[in-house]
């Protein structure tokens, strides 16, 4: 299995531009999570989906952030308009079995820099 | 708000030293404790998932113990190697597998 796939791996954009981050979870995993990692806050959960339905988006910072999961194999996180304080590494994770207990498998992350 | 704390924040050891660090978490409504290893510029990688009080898990030179009654877990590395340098994250997981992460312990092993 290829694991969780994220694209792009790196994104540099200018303030005010729209940014779209993409994630393909591991096949067969029913839950998908978007996290943001910053130096100040560490790893924080933004939103998670169960069977493609958003369950908890309380971690989404503000209306500029939106996430969708149109099907079981694809999710997007969109920032519009982007701001310099959005610069961070964004991770996607999907949930599956690990030694017969469920855990989350992380993608490689998208490193976003907003100038 | 759940409080998952890890100590120390960072640790420098010499190659060959054994080391350990701590994760403390709320003992009420406990479901699972997850340990991840996170190398720079990579993604967190699952090491252990522990659910039972007294659980001990081992993977090579790395092992972990769990005390759910007092709310702590220890991660041990025996004979540290430079390739063990990484951030070690623990996360408290609820029944829905929502994870609350600690701040991590950054381990640096000098050759």
Nearest CB to B43 within list A33, A99, A107? A107
pLDDT at B30: 85
CB-CB under 8 Å, A106 with B51: no
CB-CB under 8 Å, B103 with A103: no
pLDDT at B1: 61
pLDDT at B58: 95
pLDDT at B3: 86
pLDDT at B90: 95
Higher pLDDT, A97 or B68: B68
Instruction: Kindly report the nearest CA distance between residue A108 and chain B, in angstroms.
Output: 5
Nearest CB to B49 within list A4, A33, A98? A98
Average pLDDT, chain A: 92
pLDDT at A1: 61
Nearest CB to A42 within list B49, B93, B103? B103
Cα–Cα nearest to B6, from B91, B110, B99, B86? B91
pLDDT at B99: 87
Q: Give the C-alpha separation, B100 to B106, whole Å.
A: 18
Sign of CA dihedral A83, A49, B5, B22: negative
pLDDT at A113: 97
Nearest CB to B32 within list A31, A42, A101? A101
pLDDT at A97: 76
Q: Give the C-alpha separation, A54 to A48, whole Å.
A: 6
Q: Quickly state the pLDDT bin for A68 (edges 50, 70, 90).
A: very high
> Which portions of chain B are predicted below pLDDT 50?
none
CB-CB under 8 Å, A56 with B97: no
Interface of A with B (CB under 8 A): 4, 31, 33, 42-43, 45, 48, 56, 91, 95, 98-99, 101-109
> Which three-class secondary structure string do you get for chain A?
CCCCEEECCEEEECCCCCEEEEEECCCCCCEEEEEEEECCCEEEEEEEEECCEEEECCCCCCCCEEEEEEECCEEEEEECCCCHHHCEEEEEEEEEEECCEEEEEECCCEEEEEC
Contacting residues for A26 by C-beta, under 8 A, at least 6 apart = A1, A3, A4, A94, A96, A105
pLDDT at A74: 96
Asked if residue B65 lies in contact with residue B55, where contact means CB atoms within 8 angstroms, the answer is: yes
> Which three-class secondary structure string do you get for chain B?
CCCCEEECCEEEEECCCCEEEEEECCCCCCCEEEEEEECCCCCCEEEEEECCCCCEEEECCEEEEEECCCCEEEEEECCCCHHHCEEEEEEEECCCCCEEECCCEEEEEEC
When scoring B1, B3, B49 by the number of chain A Cβ atoms within 10 A, the one with the most, hence best to mutate, is B49
Q: How far is Cα of residue A7 from the mean position of the Cα atoms in its chain?
A: 10
pLDDT at B40: 85
Instruction: Kindly report the nearest CA distance between residue A107 and chain B, in angstroms.
Output: 6
Contacting residues for A63 by C-beta, under 8 A, at least 6 apart = none
Query: Of A6-15, A38-47, A98-107, B54-63, which gets the smallest average pLDDT?
Result: A98-107
Instruction: Kindly report the nearest CA distance between residue B6 and chain A, in angstroms.
Output: 12
Cα–Cα nearest to A4, from A75, A53, A58? A75
Q: How many CB pairs under 8 A join A and B?
A: 43
């Amino acid at each position: 299995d290829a694991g969780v796939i994220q694209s792009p791996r790196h994104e540099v954009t200018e303030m005010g531009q729209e940014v779209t981050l993409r994630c393909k979870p591991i096949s067969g995993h029913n839950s998908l999570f978007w996290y943001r990692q910053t130096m100040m806050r560490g790893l924080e959960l933004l939103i998670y989906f169960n069977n493609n339905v958003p369950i908890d988006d309380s971690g989404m910072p503000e209306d500029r952030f939106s996430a969708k999961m149109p099907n079981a194999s694809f999710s997007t996180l969109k920032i519009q308009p982007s701001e310099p304080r959005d610069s961070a590494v964004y991770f996607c994770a999907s949930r599956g079995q690990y030694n017969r207990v469920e855990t989350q498998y992380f993608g490689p992350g998208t490193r976003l820099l907003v100038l | 708000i759940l409080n998952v704390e890890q100590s120390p924040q960072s640790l420098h050891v010499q190659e060959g030293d054994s080391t350990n660090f701590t994760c403390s978490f709320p003992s009420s409504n406990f479901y699972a404790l997850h340990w991840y290893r996170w190398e720079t510029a990579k993604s967190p990688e699952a090491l252990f998932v522990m659910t039972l009080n007294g659980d001990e898990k081992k993977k090579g030179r790395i092992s972990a113990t769990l005390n759910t009654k007092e709310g702590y877990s220890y991660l041990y590395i025996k004979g540290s190697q430079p390739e063990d340098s990484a951030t070690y994250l623990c996360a408290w997981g609820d029944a829905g597998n929502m994870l609350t992460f600690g701040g991590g312990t950054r381990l640096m092993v000098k050759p």
